[in-house]
Structures are given as structure tokens and as C-alpha cells.
């Protein structure tokens, strides 16, 4: 997810129909520049080389989101055709119509990953490892954070784990997307809010993330570290 403002101007985007390394390419209607959806960088046009600001986001189900945010407004989708035209692509081994530029067998090509870019460093966390561990304490680019993930719903988010300069360590709590902390506090994984304990009411700062297939992430970031 990215902010749409570049150089003081709010851009509107569409799908160009083009691919770069089998990844979708967007275009902005104001300048006609092309943008990589995976990196947020303009790859051609008047804004070539500019970067969109990455925003924090979470992946979850509608049910879990609505439970935490009952007043959410929903962009109504056309439900006349509920079949996902990309279902066979998700389940198949084919990575696209363009040959993968770099081969990296640390993970299966179509493995889904959560990617983090901080301080010039990048790291990939595959869904299977996250589903296994549920809560992961780590750091990238010198920034400490905690990842919370639920394998059943493939829901997850990432938060800085050093509020006010105090480093916290978390582990899986009781229930879906719950994080327990050494001081006795329990936090909700979708909001980063401490629900009980000494830290009750404290909200952790969310870290921007990118969801991708492994082949796409590794093709753009060949020096990425991998959590397994």
C-alpha cells in the first residue's frame, strides 16, 4: 500500500497491462509514468526514479477485521461472478509469461511471503514459517519489530517492538492474533493495542509490509535475507 502524493501532487493510478519481471505495472493518469507495484518506484516516464511512500497495512479476513472495526466502510464489490480467475495461477507452478531473471531456491518459487524493507535492508518471511511460529521477534535495518500471524486465516501485521525506547519481547498469546508480553500484557495483533496488563491501552507503531510470491520478491531483491 502506498500514499498517492508525489512532489505535492495527488496521483490517480490504473493498471497498465504491462509486466516487469512478471509483476504488475501501474501507471499514473497525471503524467503517464509507469510504476512497479512491488517496489513503489517509477520505472519510466516524467517521474522516473521517484518512490511512492509505503503505508502500513494488514492482511486479514473480513470477519476478523469487522470484529475489531465494526464501523468500517466497505467498497461494495460486484459479486455477480464470485469465481477467482487467478485461482489456477495461485495453485500452479507457473510463475508467469516472462522467464524469471534470477533463480533462488531458498524457497519454492510460488511460496507466499511477507516482505519487510527497513534501513536499506530487506527480509522475507514465508507464510508457512509464520504460521508455525505465530509470533516472531526480529529486526531489519536496525529496527526491532514483532510479527503476528494466523495461518488459518493468513492474517498478519508487523509492529515496532520498542515503544518509547523500551524493547519488548512477545510470544503467542491465547487466541487468534494475540501477543503476550513478559510484563503480563496481552495485545491484539490486528490493531497493535494492549488489551490488558501494565501496558493496557498502549498502541504499537505499525511497520509497512509487502505481500508477494517468493519469485517476485527474490527477483527484485536478490540479496534478501530469509526467515525460516
List pLDDT tens digits, range 16-32: 988 887 788 999 999 99
Domains and CATH numbers, the chain: 5-44 (no CATH), 112-210 (2.102.10)
- Taking only the tens of pLDDT, the chain with its 228 residues reads 999 999 999 999 999 988 887 788 999 999 999 999 999 999 999 999 999 999 998 888 888 888 888 999 888 766 666 676 667 766 766 666 555 556 788 999 889 999 999 999 999 999 999 999 999 999 999 999 999 999 999 999 999 999 999 999 999 999 899 999 989 999 999 999 999 999 999 999 999 999 999 988 998 999 999 998
pTM of the model: 0.86
* Average confidence score pLDDT of the chain: 90
- Which backbone phi and psi does 160 adopt, to 5 degrees? -65, 140
Residue with cell 519489530: 145
For the chain, where are the E strands, in sequence order?
A: 5-6, 9-10, 13-20, 23-28, 34-36, 42-44, 112-118, 121-126, 135-140, 143-150, 155-160, 170-172, 178-181, 186-188, 194-196, 210-213, 225-227
Distance CA 149, CA 72 (A): 22
State the distance between the two ends of the chain, measured CA to CA, in whole angstroms. 25
Percent of the chain with pLDDT over 90: 71
Instruction: For residues 35 and 47, give the distance between their C-alpha atoms in angstroms, rounded to a whole number.
Output: 9
Amino acid at each position: 500500500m502506498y500514499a498517492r502524493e508525489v512532489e505535492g501532487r495527488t496521483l490517480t493510478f490504473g493498471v497498465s497491462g504491462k509486466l516487469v519481471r512478471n509483476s504488475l505495472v501501474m501507471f499514473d493518469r497525471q503524467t503517464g509514468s509507469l510504476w512497479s507495484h512491488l517496489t513503489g518506484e517509477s520505472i519510466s516516464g516524467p517521474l522516473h526514479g521517484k518512490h511512492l511512500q509505503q503505508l502500513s497495512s494488514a492482511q486479514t479476513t473480513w470477519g476478523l477485521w469487522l470484529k475489531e472495526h465494526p464501523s468500517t466502510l466497505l467498497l461494495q464489490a460486484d459479486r455477480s461472478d464470485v469465481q477467482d480467475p487467478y485461482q489456477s495461477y495461485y495453485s500452479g507452478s507457473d510463475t508467469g509469461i516472462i522467464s524469471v531473471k534470477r533463480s533462488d531456491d531458498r524457497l519454492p518459487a510460488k511460496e507466499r511471503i511477507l516482505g519487510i524493507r527497513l534501513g536499506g535492508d530487506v527480509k522475507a518471511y514465508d507464510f508457512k514459517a509464520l504460521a508455525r511460529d505465530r509470533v516472531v521477534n526480529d529486526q531489519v535495518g536496525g529496527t526491532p519489530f514483532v510479527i503476528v500471524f494466523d495461518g488459518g486465516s493468513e492474517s498478519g501485521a508487523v509492529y515496532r517492538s520498542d515503544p518509547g525506547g523500551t524493547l519488548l519481547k512477545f510470544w503467542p498469546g491465547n487466541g487468534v492474533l494475540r501477543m503476550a508480553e513478559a510484563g503480563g500484557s496481552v495485545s491484539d495483533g490486528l490493531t497493535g493495542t494492549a488489551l490488558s496488563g501494565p501496558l493496557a491501552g498502549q498502541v504499537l507503531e505499525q511497520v509497512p509490509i509487502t505481500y508477494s510470491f517468493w519469485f517476485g520478491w527474490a527477483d527484485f531483491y536478490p540479496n534478501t535475507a530469509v526467515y525460516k
